[in-house]
Amino acid sequence: MNNSNNYIDLSKIIKMTDSEIPVEIVFFAENFSDEAVKFASPVKLFGKLVNLSGMLRVEAMLEFSVEYSCDRCLSDFVKAYEIPFSDEIALENSEREIDEYIPYSNSRVDLTDAVYKCIFSEMDIKNVCKPDCKGLCGMCGADLNSGFCNCSDDNIDPRLLKLKELLKQ
């Protein structure tokens, strides 16, 4: 569900050839029509709108954080992002492929879909809470980051180890 509050008025910058104006918008998770990305914060867009000889561009950064579930230990963690977002903004034109530019009409543009697409393409497929996450024990399911479990031979009581050896035979 797109929120009409996210429209940027372009009427000023359209008339100002070879100039730029600052732009700052905040998007909330509910502004995006797709829910695949689990946002842990609003998405802050800040940068500028540029008019280069009549061609409009948005040149900005996106700041936001996303909640993930660790692939190894399953615990939730938050990752912060700061990624560049820039694209051409052009009059809606059915002759052009939609991924080549962000269309505007009536002197205003809605960046919501383009912002989401940019964020989505940055998402990691594999996610671990930390590079050396030890994950869960395959035997008892204990989180090995918060200590050892009794399934580990390194930590096992020597007497139990002997018992384990006996049981193997």
Report in angstroms how near the CB of residue 30 gets to Zn ion at its nearest.
29
Minimum CB distance to Zn ion smaller for 29 or for 142: 142
What's phi and psi for 93, nearest 5 deg? -145, 115
Pick the closest to residue 49 from 11, 83, 82 (CA basis).
Answer: 11
The answer to whether 118 and 27 have CB atoms below 8 angstroms apart is no
> In the bound complex, what is the minimum distance in angstroms from residue 77's beta carbon to Zn ion?
7
* Least distance to Zn ion, CB of residue 70, Å: 3
Whichever of 68 and 85 has its CB closer to Zn ion, that residue is 68
Taking a C-beta distance cutoff of 8 angstroms, is the pair 53, 17 a contact? yes
**Is the CB of 57 or the CB of 72 nearer to Zn ion?**
72
Residue placing its CB nearer to Zn ion in the complex, 68 or 101? 68
> Minimum distance between the CB of residue 73 and Zn ion, rounded to whole angstroms?
3
Phi and psi torsions of 32, nearest 5°: -90, 140
Residue 72 C-beta: closest distance to Zn ion, Å? 5
Structure tokens at 153: 């031979």
Three-class secondary structure of residue 82 per DSSP? strand
Task: By CB under 5 A, name the binding residues for Zn ion.
Answer: 70, 72-73, 129, 133, 137, 139-140, 142, 149, 151
Kindly tell me which of 111 and 133 has the beta carbon lying closer to Zn ion: 133
Give backbone dihedrals phi and psi of 139, rounded to 5 degrees, phi first. Answer: -95, -50
Distance of CA 50 to the CA centre of its chain: 25
Query: Do residues 89 and 105 make contact, with C-beta atoms less than 8 angstroms apart?
Result: no
